[in-house]
Chains A and B, each alone.
Chain A
Amino acid sequence: MRNAVTTNKLTKRFGDFVATDAITFTVAPGEIFGFLGANGAGKTTAMRMLCGLLKPTSGTATVAGFDVYTQSEQIKQVIGYMSQRFSLYDDLTPRENIRFYGGIYGLKRADLKAKANAIIEELELGSVADKLTGSLPLGWKQRLAFSVALIHEPKVVFLDEPTGGVDPITRRHFWDMIYAAAHRGTTIFVTTHYMDEAEYCDRVSIMVDGQIKALDTPGALKKQFGVDSMDGVFQILARGTSTK
């Protein structure tokens, strides 16, 4: 089966600053791929290149088999994206947000209503479905944003710190949703700063100063660095110091 994401020496420079330095990796279909790194390590830049929001400086990359240089519009048909910033319309209701993004992704008008009802039921938003999205608690908004990112059943979904600022119980719910989506065959590409979340991923890469310093399953990484948590692995790599 074709890889969901491949990159080969993918690089982005802003002037003299190298934000992403020749990163090479592949993500298998249906995989939950954790993309870790300290603030400013280049995660978001890499993700934006894969989503077609940013042109790479050099190197190659494909998403769902499409080339990021020449086929970015095709990529946009088959990916979902949820950025760090909440990106639904606060002045529309959840139902209207679902309808709008569904419409933009080309869903049929007849299907939109059923889709909206299904999402609202799944997220248990029935009581607030027709209130303004801006009035919902952050955790609810984030789950709604995730559902909207999945509305067109994308092959790959990119989540940029989806659980930032959310309480532990809601985070747990969020990860249940991620598992459910992966189970349906969607590839999940997720960045996070929570190391417990890193443990939930099938494989994890850790970026430091624009480069990928480690890439493996959480279990293999812990073994490789001789620590008992992903937090330990991250500390060693991000600080550039070894406790050994």
Chain B
Amino acid sequence: MNRIGFMIEKEFKQLFRNKVLWRMMLAAPVLQLILLANAANFEVKNINIVVVDQDHTTYAQRLTGKFRYIDNFNFRGYRPATKLAYQELLAGTADVILVIPPHFERNLTTENRADVQLLVSAIDGTKAGIASVYAQTIIRSFNADIRTETIGTTPDGVAPERMAGLDVENQYWYNPRLEYKTFMVPGILFELLLLIGSMIAALNIVREKEIGTQEQLNVTPIRKHEFIIGKLTPFVLIGLIQFTLGLLVGRFVFRIPIEGSLLLLYGFAFLFLLLCVGLGLLISAVSNTQQQAMFVVFFCLVLFILLSGLFSSTDDMPQWAQIINTLNPLKYIIEVGRNVLLKGSTLRDMQTQFFTLLAMTITLIGLASWRYKKVG
């Protein structure tokens, strides 16, 4: 037990002495959280739209006007011909072209129907999809306005008030204002723990191999578990400090709700940190140089992060990716973070995640202990 104390004391001395690393470990979660939560953003704003108005009527102007005063769209002006608008699409200065054909107003009033053409640049599939949905919503709302004014009723004879009553109204639970950051911050918080926990732990131990102090320790009577606990503890403690900092930033800068139990959240953070440091330990046990360790850590991290559901929903991934994902610790902990923070889920709700993470932690630390040998 005493030896563990000396190991921890030594680790902290070295860590505090490495001022750059120490400062970075504290600044990184705060900075990255602020940067990522603001930049890694799926809200579609600033959709550049140009309008080719071949009708030049009041109705055409009113339809264009609807696009001009909506935040998500950025009205770039009228173009006299479709050809010119195409060029802007090619140049990337326009994302959407709205073409209002001749006789738009006349067809609408006499035949009760008219067509408009919507051209959407689909280089960024997500953005295109959302832009086209937005545009269709606006056109539909314009359509409803016109009908109310001119006819008073819909073609079926139903009063427009009634029709509005039938409209589907969306209610967004747990994130009522569809705040993107509310969704991102809990995920980023745990992604950072994984990054820092596994990377720093792996490099720290491999460094001891490189400078030869590992061999020196191997000729001392230190036991395997004393070495491993002595190495794990400082990183888990630092991870918890980072987690706290991150949580404070989330709460006070991004105003994310904390619906669930903080104790539960910290329990999970502790478990997850053990897992991260265990992963680092395992990687260090199979690597001989910091270069090798860095590469393996990076390989794992990129896979974990991209498949984690941080940036895209895991439910939409192909079957095989979802199967791989059952081994992705980040996926589970992000689910925990979002559910506990935003929904107030309890341990009972999160038991699948809990047992999965627990099993992974035990496996990783077990493997690392098995691979870590004092005798070659």
Interface residues of A (CB under 8 A from B): 48, 51-55, 72-73, 76-77, 79, 81, 83, 85-92, 96, 99-101, 103-106, 109, 132
Contact = CB atoms under 8 A, between A and B. Distances in A.
Nearest to B219: A81
Given A53-B375, A86-B212, A89-B213, A79 B3 contact: no
B213 A88 contact: yes
Contacts of A52: 219, 374-375
A106 B375 contact: no
A226 B374 CA distance: 45
Nearest to A77: B221
A81 B375 contact: no
B302 to A, nearest CB: 31
A83 B221 contact: no
A158 to B, nearest CB: 8
B163 interface: no
Given A55-B375, A96-B10, A105 B220 contact: yes
Given A77-B221, A79-B219, A105-B220, A89 B10 contact: yes
B2 to A, nearest CB: 7
A195 B220 CA distance: 30
Given A72-B375, A91-B14, A96-B10, A104 B212 contact: no
Nearest to A55: B375
29 contacts: A48-B376, A52-B219, A53-B374, A55-B375, A55-B376, A72-B375, A81-B219, A85-B211, A85-B215, A87-B213, A88-B213, A91-B17, A92-B14, A96-B13, A99-B6, A100-B6, A100-B10, A103-B2, A103-B3, A103-B5, A103-B9, A104-B3, A104-B217, A104-B222, A105-B220, A106-B2, A106-B3, A109-B2, A132-B17
Interface of B: 2-3, 5-7, 9-10, 13-14, 17-18, 211-213, 215-223, 374-376
Contacts of B375: 52-55, 72
B374 to A, nearest CB: 8
Contacts of A101: 216, 220
A208 B134 CA distance: 83
A86 B210 CA distance: 11
Given A92-B17, A106-B3, A106-B221, 7 more contacts: A54-B375, A76-B219, A83-B215, A85-B215, A86-B212, A103-B9, A106-B2
B216 to A, nearest CB: 4
Contacts of B215: 53, 83, 85, 87
Contacts of B18: 91
A168 to B, nearest CB: 25
Contacts, number: 77
Nearest to A73: B221
Given A81-B216, A103-B2, A53 B13 contact: no
A197 B376 CA distance: 30
Nearest to B216: A87
A67 to B, nearest CB: 14
A165 B217 CA distance: 23
Contacts of B17: 91-92, 132
A109 B223 CA distance: 19
Which 3 A-B pairs give the minimum distances between C-beta atoms?
A103-B6, A85-B212, A87-B216
A60 B215 CA distance: 23
B8 to A, nearest CB: 11
A161 B7 CA distance: 28
Nearest to A82: B216
Contacts of A79: 219
Contact of A53 (B211, B213, B219, B223): B219
